[in-house]
Amino acid sequence: ARHLYICDFHKNLIQSVRNRRKRKGSDDDGDSPVQDIDTPEVDLYQLQVNTLRRYKRHFKLQTRPGLNKAQLVEIIGCHFRTIPVNEKDTLTYFIYSVKHDKNKPDLKMDSGVH
């Protein structure tokens, strides 16, 4: 079913990002516990070991051979959290994709990270 509106979940997500930006620009020192709670955490344990190994190989992460899943998740999690994300571009591209019923990226996003 094609739709031209955005669901409540993604609408609230976009609004929370906008609110966080306003808070960051305020006189606060940036150590607000609200910001820590709002940051979504990715559960890398949901991924298969082969997927974790491909991630490690793609980003050329240096590890010792024979790591188990928990060790891979720990190393990849540390790396994953360091990848910079331009929130505005990401949200704009996501909304464009949803509105145009795209399931594969047609646009070249220059992330500058590889």
Q: pLDDT tens digits for 29-67?
A: 444 444 444 556 788 999 999 999 999 999 999 999 889
Which pLDDT score, from 0 to 100, does residue 12 have? Answer: 74
Q: Give the whole-angstrom CA distance, residue 87 versus residue 110.
A: 13
Q: Give the whole-angstrom CA distance, residue 23 versus residue 31.
A: 11
Q: Which domain holds residue 81?
A: 41-101
Asked if residue 50 is part of any domain, the answer here is yes
Q: Please, what's the largest Cα pairwise distance for the chain? A: 48
- Is the pTM higher than 0.75? no
Asked if residue 87 is part of any domain, the answer here is yes
Asked if residue 19 is part of any domain, the answer here is no
pLDDT single digits (tens) 67-96: 999 999 999 999 988 888 888 898 998 888
Asked if residue 1 is part of any domain, the answer here is no
- Of 15-24, 59-68, 74-83, 104-113, the least confident: 104-113
Number of domains in the chain: 1
Asked if residue 112 is part of any domain, the answer here is no
Asked if residue 95 is part of any domain, the answer here is yes
Asked if residue 9 is part of any domain, the answer here is no
